[in-house]
């Protein structure tokens, strides 16, 4: 029967051994009740789903011998039948059979789609990398790749998505480890300072319980009540004062907001280190133990921070923030350090306390100031802090505190002034991140170096994009001609020489050696800054040189890389991750070009261990300081090696996603299209593993919890039998 106030979308009895009545629909009247009768007898039911759209789902268990089930809705004194179903075994068998058949064909269709997609990707790879001339030496590698594709078909990949709570919690469960607890020689007092305001008692108690349950016990809890009007909060604090002598409370007489409240808590602290915590968050039991363990390994540490995740109000863990080691330029993009962070108190006299003008971003400003007076900063890549998603907090959405975004921007601007740096700071639309664009010092000459061999159309596209789009006016171009033979190539080079007085050609009459060619060109370069550029690139961003130069002029920065896109707009280069795949690989390959990336990595400048030399800027002095590119690495990994040499000298490399170029990727040269080249690639890979094994195994700008099979995913635990077969 049909009624205006209720609509039934699905009604069935399913299950042969344990029948279950299911009714799904929409109910407009909220004060109605249901009545379920099995052969005329009333039975219990559950309503499991009710949402803002008035949708509902009713479930009721019925006995096997029941013949008919009737469902009524009662509206006051009125009773309406909305469903009458027969508990037929034949129907249930047919329904199950239908489900099995549909499920089979659905899975078959998914496998066909997966096969077609894999085949398409394989054809694309074979053309792009080898023009279908795959050398026999590469066959074993690609065969292994195919086996892995079959081994991990649809839905059975060897990694978890960190941002799907179910998968994240599976990863947490798989990685639970019983850590051996040792006695420390050095046991500093740690003061955990917590500003409190109108917090519900149960949330505050959860927070304090998580501290009292710490493995490491030499701590004190310093609470500052910011004149809370809620009696429940004040009463809870008074109970806590009596509970444990390590709990200290100061009651402010007027509301001063989070900065003043935190400062009040700091003022009553006696610890050698101060740890910041919110009044509704939770520590893992080993949080302080891990902090003190790090201090015992290096007592000179002044600032320690850990990984964190978020906690739903029902206790479900989600949205992990797996952080890199200290990254000064990444920090300008937003407070990635956040929770859980611990600071040496003796440095507070130099740094000062929290500033009220940065409320909402007060900890961000504090971290920026603290990092200016010490480099003894350490990251513990373990999730030791759960940031509770309380309604109205920034853990849910930063839009709850819009002023925090503006104050964060001001914190970055103030940091630039303190450091004597000039530039502008802006916030990308609808984000909580910041981008710094440095002012250029002077008008230095930039030398753009482009190795090439024939395929004049590709080179012409590259050169034309530079001359037509580049807004910076002081640059020169050196094209390295590596044994070109085509007449059209020579005519093109002659044309550009005649039309532009900042264009010249160098000859490289020897077999392809990317490192040697660029090194020789740098010696001939007149510019103070060098751009290494592939001939199969095309400029998109008009002010690309200005943006790159602003960063390359910073004293602490080595190589400056950019976002490279395939012609279809997907990402070809989003930074380089060490150990990914093998030695190193590009991040975010194949992702849409306008994607934000994990924690904004495709939106704001980010420190990486390496960037690709397909488009890379660096000062000539820094290039020469590390003796340029390694000439033993003729084809592969020379840019990675170059960037690692810069890291060894104390420089930071950076990826600028706001600078974009198309990259047609080795279109003229190809990649390893002969067995000789592949053997050379293997030698160069071995060279990298021998020279940089420690760094390749521990990329400090890529959290070690992440997978080395797929970037920014969590690895599934490998079973013992699987390990043995690999």
Of 482, 533, 538, nearest to 664 by C-alpha is 538
Mean pLDDT, the chain, as a whole number? 88
pLDDT value, residue 391: 72
Q: Lowest mean pLDDT: which of 82-86, 111-115, 509-513, 627-631?
A: 111-115
Same domain, 256 and 117: no
H/E element, 184: none
Q: Are strands 247-251 and 219-225 parallel, antiparallel or unpaired?
A: parallel
Indicate if the pLDDT at residue 161 is higher than 60: yes
CA atoms of 697 and 170, how far apart (whole Å)? 25
pLDDT value, residue 145: 64
Residue identified by tokens 């601007």 is 413
Indicate if the pLDDT at residue 47 is higher than 90: no
Residues in the chain, total: 726
Of 516, 537, 560, nearest to 651 by C-alpha is 560
pLDDT value, residue 153: 57
Q: Is 213 buried (19+), middle (13-18) or exposed (0-12) by CB count in 10 A?
A: exposed
pLDDT band at 432 (very low <50, low <70, confident <90, very high): confident
H/E element, 81: strand 78-86
Does the residue 703 lie in any domain? no
Same domain, 384 and 465: no
Which domain-ending residue is among 36, 71, 87?
Answer: 87
Segment 556-571, tens digit of pLDDT: 999 999 999 999 899 9
Of 366, 360, 320, nearest to 347 by C-alpha is 366
Same domain, 638 and 560: yes
What residues pair up with 505 in beta bridges, in sequence order? 479
Indicate if the pLDDT at residue 137 is higher than 80: no
pLDDT band at 671 (very low <50, low <70, confident <90, very high): very low
Same domain, 132 and 208: no
Same domain, 254 and 351: yes
Same domain, 567 and 587: yes
Q: Which of 63-72, 159-168, 386-395, 621-630 has the highest mean pLDDT?
A: 621-630
> How many Cβ atoms from other residues are within 10 Å of residue 495's Cβ?
14
Q: Which two tokens stand for residue 721?
A: 């039998």
pLDDT band at 668 (very low <50, low <70, confident <90, very high): very low
Does the residue 427 lie in any domain? yes
pLDDT value, residue 187: 98
CA atoms of 281 and 494, how far apart (whole Å)? 68
Q: Is 187 buried (19+), middle (13-18) or exposed (0-12) by CB count in 10 A?
A: middle
Q: What is the mean pLDDT of residues 518-522?
A: 97
Does the residue 184 lie in any domain? no
Indicate if the pLDDT at residue 52 is higher than 70: no
pLDDT value, residue 724: 35
Instruction: Decide if 355 contacts 362 (C-beta within 8 A).
Output: yes
**CA 389, 390, 392, 394 torsion: positive or negative?**
negative
Indicate if the pLDDT at residue 400 is higher than 60: no
Which domain-ending residue is among 27, 55, 87?
Answer: 87
CA atoms of 648 and 650, how far apart (whole Å)? 5
Residue identified by tokens 């893992």 is 284
Which domain-ending residue is among 55, 87, 119?
Answer: 87
Is there a cis peptide before residue 597, judged by omega within 30 degrees of 0? no
> How many Cβ atoms from other residues are within 10 Å of residue 391's Cβ?
9
Q: Is 101 buried (19+), middle (13-18) or exposed (0-12) by CB count in 10 A?
A: exposed
pLDDT value, residue 89: 78
CA angle 170, 175, 180 (to 5 degrees): 150
Q: Which residue has the higher pLDDT, 628 or 674?
A: 628
pLDDT band at 673 (very low <50, low <70, confident <90, very high): very low
Q: Which two tokens stand for residue 474?
A: 């002081």
Q: What is the mean pLDDT of residues 194-202?
A: 94
pLDDT value, residue 45: 85
248 — phi, psi (to 5°)?
-120, 140
Same domain, 291 and 397: yes
pLDDT value, residue 1: 53
Same domain, 49 and 107: no
CA atoms of 403 and 283, how far apart (whole Å)? 27
Residue 350's CATH number: 3.90.550.10
pLDDT value, residue 34: 86
Residue 63's CATH number: 2.60.40.10
Is 676 strand, coil or helix? helix
Q: Is 100 buried (19+), middle (13-18) or exposed (0-12) by CB count in 10 A?
A: exposed
Same domain, 416 and 528: no
Indicate if the pLDDT at residue 360 is higher than 50: yes
Q: Which two tokens stand for residue 262?
A: 């935190």
Residue identified by tokens 């899975």 is 107
Does the residue 18 lie in any domain? yes
Does the residue 210 lie in any domain? yes
Indicate if the pLDDT at residue 62 is higher than 50: yes
Split into its structural domains, the chain has a count of 4
Same domain, 57 and 111: no
CA atoms of 525 and 519, how far apart (whole Å)? 10
Q: What is the mean pLDDT of residues 133-146?
A: 60
Q: What is the mean pLDDT of residues 347-372?
A: 96
Indicate if the pLDDT at residue 276 is higher than 80: yes
pLDDT band at 675 (very low <50, low <70, confident <90, very high): low
pLDDT value, residue 116: 79
Does the residue 167 lie in any domain? no
Q: Lowest mean pLDDT: which of 42-51, 417-426, 585-594?
A: 42-51
pLDDT value, residue 505: 97
Q: Which two tokens stand for residue 675?
A: 């067995």
H/E element, 693: helix 675-697
Q: Which residue has the higher pLDDT, 196 or 87?
A: 196
pLDDT band at 726 (very low <50, low <70, confident <90, very high): very low
CA atoms of 242 and 255, how far apart (whole Å)? 24
Q: Is 477 buried (19+), middle (13-18) or exposed (0-12) by CB count in 10 A?
A: buried
Instruction: Decide if 10 contacts 49 (C-beta within 8 A).
Output: no
Structural domain boundaries, residue 298: 190-437
E-strand ranges in 200-302 read: 219-225, 247-251, 273-276, 282-283
**CA 576, 580, 585, 589 torsion: positive or negative?**
negative
Same domain, 139 and 236: no
CA atoms of 385 and 205, how far apart (whole Å)? 16
Does the residue 298 lie in any domain? yes
H/E element, 721: helix 720-725
Q: Lowest mean pLDDT: which of 13-27, 433-447, 449-463, 643-657?
A: 13-27
pLDDT value, residue 135: 56
Same domain, 321 and 398: yes
Does the residue 661 lie in any domain? yes
Q: Which of 24-33, 58-67, 540-549 has the highest mean pLDDT?
A: 540-549
């Amino acid at each position: 029967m049909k009624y205006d106030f209720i609509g039934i979308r699905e009604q069935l009895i399913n299950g042969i051994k344990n029948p279950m009545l299911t009714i799904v629909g929409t109910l407009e009247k909220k004060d109605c009740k249901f009545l379920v009768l099995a052969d005329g007898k009333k039975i219990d039911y559950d309503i499991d789903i009710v949402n803002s759209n008035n949708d509902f789902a009713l479930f009721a268990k019925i006995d096997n011998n029941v013949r008919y089930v009737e469902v009524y809705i009662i509206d006051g004194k009125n009773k309406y039948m909305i469903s009458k179903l027969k508990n037929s075994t034949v129907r249930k068998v047919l329904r199950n059979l239908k489900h099995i058949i549909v499920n089979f064909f659905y899975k078959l269709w998914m496998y066909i789609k997966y096969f077609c997609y894999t085949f398409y990707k394989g054809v694309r790879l074979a053309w792009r990398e080898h023009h279908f001339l795959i050398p026999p030496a590469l066959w074993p590698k690609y065969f292994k790749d195919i086996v892995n594709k079959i081994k991990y078909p649809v839905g059975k990949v060897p990694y978890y998505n960190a941002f799907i709570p179910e998968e994240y919690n599976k990863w947490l469960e798989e990685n639970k480890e019983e850590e051996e607890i040792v006695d420390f020689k050095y046991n500093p007092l740690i003061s955990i300072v917590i500003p409190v305001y109108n917090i519900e008692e149960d949330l505050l108690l959860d927070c304090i319980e998580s501290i009292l349950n710490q493995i490491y016990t030499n701590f004190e809890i310093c609470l500052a009540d910011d004149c809370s009007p809620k009696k429940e909060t004040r009463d809870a604090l008074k109970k806590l004062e009596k509970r444990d002598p390590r709990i200290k409370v100061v009651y402010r007489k007027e509301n001063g907001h989070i900065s003043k409240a935190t400062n009040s808590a700091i003022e009553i602290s006696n610890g050698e280190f101060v740890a910041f915590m919110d009044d509704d968050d939770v520590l893992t039991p080993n949080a302080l133990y891990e902090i003190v363990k790090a201090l015992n390994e290096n007592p000179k540490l002044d600032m320690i921070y850990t990984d964190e995740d978020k906690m739903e109000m029902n206790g479900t863990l989600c949205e992990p923030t797996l952080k890199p080691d200290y990254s000064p330029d990444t920090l300008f993009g937003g407070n990635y350090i956040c929770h859980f962070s611990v600071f040496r108190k003796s440095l507070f006299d130099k740094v000062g306390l929290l500033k009220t003008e940065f409320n909402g971003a007060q900890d961000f400003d504090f971290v920026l100031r603290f990092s200016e007076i010490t480099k003894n900063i350490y990251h513990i890549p373990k999730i030791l802090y759960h940031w509770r998603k309380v309604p109205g907090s920034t853990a849910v959405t930063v839009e709850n505190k819009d002023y925090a975004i503006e104050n964060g921007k001001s914190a970055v601007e103030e940091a630039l002034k303190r450091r004597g740096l000039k530039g502008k700071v802006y916030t990308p639309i609808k984000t909580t991140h910041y981008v710094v664009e440095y002012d250029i010092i002077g008008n230095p000459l930039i030398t753009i170096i482009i190795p090439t061999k024939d395929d004049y159309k590709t080179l012409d596209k590259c050169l034309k994009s530079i001359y037509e789009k580049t807004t910076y006016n002081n640059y020169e171009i050196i094209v390295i001609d590596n044994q070109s033979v085509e007449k059209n190539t020579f005519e093109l080079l002659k044309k550009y020489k005649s039309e532009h007085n900042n264009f010249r050609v160098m000859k490289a009459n020897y077999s392809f050696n990317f490192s040697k060619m660029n090194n020789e060109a740098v010696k001939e370069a007149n510019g103070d800054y060098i751009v290494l550029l592939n001939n199969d690139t095309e400029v998109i961003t008009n002010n690309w040189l200005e943006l790159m130069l602003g960063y390359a002029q910073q004293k602490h920065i080595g190589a400056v890389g950019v976002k490279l896109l395939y012609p279809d707009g997907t990402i070809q280069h989003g930074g380089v991750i060490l150990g990914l795949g093998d030695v190193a690989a590009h991040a975010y390959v194949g992702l849409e070009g306008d994607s934000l990336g994990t924690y904004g990595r495709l939106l704001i400048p980010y420190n990486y261990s390496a960037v690709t030399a397909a488009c890379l800027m660096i000062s000539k002095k820094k290039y020469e300081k590390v003796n340029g590119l390694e000439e033993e690495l003729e084809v592969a990994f020379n840019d990675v090696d170059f960037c690692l040499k810069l890291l060894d000298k104390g420089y930071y490399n950076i990826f600028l996603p706001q600078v974009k170029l198309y990259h047609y990727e080795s279109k003229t040269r190809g990649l390893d299209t002969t067995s000789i080249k592949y053997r050379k690639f293997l030698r160069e890979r071995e060279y990298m593993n021998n020279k940089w094994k420690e760094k390749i195994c521990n990329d400090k700008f890529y959290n070690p919890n992440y997978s080395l099979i797929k970037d920014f995913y969590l690895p599934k635990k490998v079973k013992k039998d699987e390990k043995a077969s690999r």
